Amino acid sequence: MAMDWNNPQTLEFLSQCFHHTLSPLPSPRRAAESSLSDAADHPNFALAVLRLVSQPSLDPLIRLSASVHFKNHLKRRWNPNNHKGRDRDQVPEVSMISDSEKEQIKALIVPLMLSSDPKIRAQLGEALTVIGQHDFPGKWPGLLPELVRKLGEASEGNDYGTVNGILGTANALFKRFRYAIKSDALYRDLKYILEGFAAPLLQVFMRTAALIDGAAEVRVGVGLDGKTLRALFESQRLCCRIFFSLNSQELPEFFEDHMREWMEEFGKYLALRYPVLEDDGGADGVAVVDEVRSAVCENINLYMEKNEEEFAPYLPGFAQAVENLLVSVSTSNRDKLAVNAIKFLITVSRSVAHRYFEGDDRLLHICQKIVIPNVMLREADEELFEMNYVEFIRIDMEGSDVDTKRRIACELVKGIATHYREKIMGIVSSVVQRMLEEYARNPVGNWKYMDCTVYLVVSLATRQPGRDFIIATDLVDAQSFFTSVIVPVLQRQNVNEDPILRAGALKVFTLFRQLLPKHIRIALLPDLIRSIGAESNVVHSYAAICIEKLLRVKDDGVGARIDINPFLLNLMTNLFNAFKFAESDENEYLMRCIMVVLGVADITAGVADPCITGLTSILNEVCRNPKNPKFNHYLFESLAVLVRRACEKVPALITAFEDRLFPSIQIILGNDVTEFLPYTFQLLAQLLDLNTQLLPPYIAVFNLLLLPDSWRRSANVPALVRLLQAFLQKAPQELSQEGRLSQVLGIFNKLLDSPKTEDQGFFVLNTVVENLKYDVIVPYVSPIWTVLFTRLMKTSSVKFKKNFLIFASLFAVKHEVARLVDSMNAIQAGIFFTILEQVWIPCLKDITGFIELKLTSVASAKVICESPALLSPAAAGLWGKMLDSIVTLVSKPEEQRVDGEESELPDLDNIPEYSATFVRLHNAGKKEDDPLKDIKDPKEFLVVSLASLSGHSPGRFPQVIGENLAPENQAALFQLCKTYKCAIV
């Protein structure tokens, strides 16, 4: 039933609901939320809420709460495509807003938004943007004229609250033009907006600029007050952002015709100061003006990138203005403005206008007044180092600081170096030497010069493309710099002294590792291990990163790695102790280092015991509240590599590992720690592979594994399949007891039901067929074929057909071709020939992977040589087609026979928006089994089989080959016969 949105009782009900949603008590709050959720399914609910928002007599908090709810309601129910492809278990179905209700909302929302107070206006503006993203302009032709009309009225009345509300809405609506891919539809929409909005935008911009100009030289109390001036600058910021959106695709004719007006005003904001805000308004006042300046820098950078020729007359003035501006802001915390201003100079430095930088004096000025001040460490950087080590490392070491002042200043040097490399690097190098001298003169007082030097050397060095190490530097002699500047910092005995400098030294060591001789790397390992004991989270993290990277270095790319074994026990002790430092209990860098060390070290029993103790102790702690996915993955990978490598060396250790791991595994399974279940199943599979007997705890897990509930979470499925395979291979006899084989095949049926898990279903089926005797599986063969044939009739998936072909091939080589043919034909007479013609022959050429190719080619050769039905004269054509497909498979390289454009597209209608994902443990992976270990060469097997077959019927098969094989395949078969000295007679 539709909700009467004009009924006072309806409004009173909604008012009470929104009042209770603000309650600090959970009971009334939840009841109100439930009532609103039920009411939301009624037609006209959104209109009723909007009507409530419009009531000025109501409590402002209730109206604000209603406006937020209205916005969120529109997000969920305006556009049905928002729910397309989502998992229905995660996103319940909701009723969409009707078209008639939508039209009424669109008629009411703009005037209500503009007449509301700022907080409600902001919420309704976001709601309007939600509508506009779907309906504007095609389904809402009245919006743009209404916005333009209201904008003009508000501007004439100096009502900048309304002006900014309209401009904010327009800005949100037009943002899509910044990033959208060019299309006819996009350009139609852009043309429509330009025709209606470009001129009014310029009018508002110029009118506001005139008001600002009038206040530029006056102070508070004389002209415009600070509050009014803030609103004017916010208006100009929004105009600049809209300018950016409307110019992002190409230069519109209107903006080209009026470029002078725009550019003259842009230039003023870069060159002038506004005392009312910048002197009397405090930091907030400066930020208001800087937002406009920053937006101007983005606009002129856009024109420099896209419209360089048209922008050329204005370039010299803007370049000088930006340079002057940067001199004043580079020593402050005005980061956004500094970054966007430097980006403009970078664009200029790489363009045809690069001659702006050719003078030595200018380069020296830029280096001293812009580059160095922006690279110099600030108090905010020191606070980040101490208070948030994860973010500091992400910014400093992992290369995600493109938009920081430090990185962008170095990018400016690189940009200038595009045309003036020798000049700029010489200047920076001399500045670096002076800073090192200042540091040497007073290390305590001038330590920031050292930090600045390290940052410049690292950032301006040449890196191996796509890699994280440095191969050359123009600023310093790498080895001399390292030994004279970096090594003394690393060798200080107090690892807690000057933590920022030690972190920088560790970063240099990490990145210069390929330039340093092996003996230097080895000599400094004790200092790295000591650094893991530093209290600073950044320092012990950088030490762990450095050790991990050093262990991956091979001399000349092929030589032996560093031998870590002499340092192993001390290293592992320090790594595990470092987890005890505050904030490092789940330090992913420490755990990744442990993982890498265990992967290369000599794992003896003396090493294995403290490692398994330390890892299981950490595992038991994080089980309580898993929160760092990377740390968790490295933890389980460390356990897997420890188990694998230790048991390779000392197989008897498996019992000790089980004793330590089973209590943790029982905690995970018993408490249903969802995040860890896929890892746990893989770890269990690894332990089972290494074991010589099936212990009672494994039997208990096996019974749990066979329960349908265990397979409900999709993220568990690959790991469960891996574990099930381990059970089937380790103890196939267990399947014949208590109806377990029937349960396993039930799992296969369930997995086959979904395209997402069908691969896993075939893994299960293949493992059953490969490991069980035929007399055990024979009662289930007909049901298996029935399921597979039914699915084949319903699907066109190449992936499914390839999986089917691999299974049928495995069946043939394990249980004889005759049983394959007879069991298929028992389902339907003659279906084997149908399968050959419609599935086997066309899909054989698409098989990839060495073992898969070997399996299918050998099985196919056995089929044409051992199947009486296929060897009858009536089937000669089918026999020839089959051989043609086999020859294609074994003679042609994969890229020539597999369609490169063919891809298995996911079902886009059934992909959940989010689900926990399976992550494979590299070190717990299943070794790929070769079911045909005795057959080394499938090509040889083919021609030997054919030669033997033809020997029993001389003269018959050459004719069939000549009639059915493509000429290139006939030639390839002849060459194979020649190679293996076999003849088809």
Is the pLDDT score of 904 beyond 50? no
What is the 3-class SS of 164-204, one letter each residue?
A: HHHHHHHHHHHCHHHHCCCCHHHHHHHHHHHHHHHHHHHHH
Is the pLDDT score of 86 beyond 60? no
* Band (466; pLDDT cuts 50, 70, 90): low
Is the pLDDT score of 902 beyond 60? no
* Band (697; pLDDT cuts 50, 70, 90): confident
pLDDT of residue 276: 86
Half-sphere exposure of 363 (CA within 13 A, CB side): 25
* Band (692; pLDDT cuts 50, 70, 90): confident
Percentage of the chain beyond pLDDT 70 is: 94
pLDDT of residue 985: 74
* Band (709; pLDDT cuts 50, 70, 90): confident
- Greater model confidence, 915 or 148: 148
Helix (H) or strand (E) holding 612: helix 605-622
What is the chain's Cα-based Rg?
A: 36
Is the pLDDT score of 61 beyond 90? yes
88 Cβ contact partners less than 8 Å away, ≥ 6 residues apart: none
**pLDDT tens-place string over residues 215-225:** 755 444 345 67
Q: Rounded distance, CA 156 to CA 174, Å?
A: 24
Is the pLDDT score of 546 beyond 70? yes
DSSP string computed for 464-493? -TTSSSEEE-SSS-HHHHIIIIIHHHHT-S
The top-scoring range by mean pLDDT among 179-183, 205-209, 713-717 is: 205-209
Coil/strand/helix, residue 353: coil
Is the pLDDT score of 6 beyond 90? no
pLDDT of residue 272: 92
pLDDT of residue 401: 52
**pLDDT tens-place string over residues 95-147:** 899 999 999 999 999 999 989 998 999 999 999 999 998 999 999 999 999 99
Q: Which amino acid is at 179?
A: Y
Least confident range of 157-161, 375-379, 512-516, 810-814: 512-516
Helix (H) or strand (E) holding 463: strand 462-463
The two tokens of residue 191 are 């043309």
Coil/strand/helix, residue 951: helix
Least Cα distance to 920 among 633, 672, 627 occurs for 633
Average pLDDT over residues 64-71: 95
- Greater model confidence, 441 or 80: 441
Is the pLDDT score of 953 beyond 80? yes
pLDDT of residue 906: 35
Average pLDDT over residues 229-244: 96
**pLDDT tens-place string over residues 814-869:** 999 999 999 999 999 999 999 999 999 999 989 998 999 999 999 999 999 999 99
The two tokens of residue 49 are 């809420």
**Cα-Cα-Cα-Cα dihedral sign, residues 435, 440, 444, 450:** positive
864 Cβ contact partners less than 8 Å away, ≥ 6 residues apart: 870, 871, 879, 882, 883, 886, 949
**pLDDT tens-place string over residues 240-292:** 999 999 999 999 999 999 999 999 999 999 999 888 888 876 778 899 999 99
The two tokens of residue 376 are 């110099």
* Band (470; pLDDT cuts 50, 70, 90): confident
Is the pLDDT score of 700 beyond 90? no
Is the pLDDT score of 2 beyond 80? no
Predicted TM-score (pTM) of this structure? 0.82
The two tokens of residue 826 are 């028992």
Mean confidence (pLDDT) of the chain: 89
* Band (17; pLDDT cuts 50, 70, 90): very high
Is the pLDDT score of 188 beyond 70? yes
pLDDT of residue 220: 41
**pLDDT tens-place string over residues 141-158:** 999 999 999 999 999 999
Q: Rounded distance, CA 18 to CA 36, Å?
A: 8
The two tokens of residue 300 are 């002129």
> Cα–Cα–Cα angle for 788, 790, 796, nearest 5°?
85
Q: Rounded distance, CA 976 to CA 985, Å?
A: 14
Percentage of the chain beyond pLDDT 90 is: 70
* Band (708; pLDDT cuts 50, 70, 90): confident
Q: Which amino acid is at 656?
A: A
- Greater model confidence, 469 or 531: 531
- Greater model confidence, 446 or 463: 446
Is the pLDDT score of 434 beyond 60? yes
Least confident range of 286-295, 525-534, 683-692: 683-692
Q: Which amino acid is at 229?
A: L
Least Cα distance to 160 among 227, 243, 236, 232 occurs for 232
Average pLDDT over residues 357-371: 95
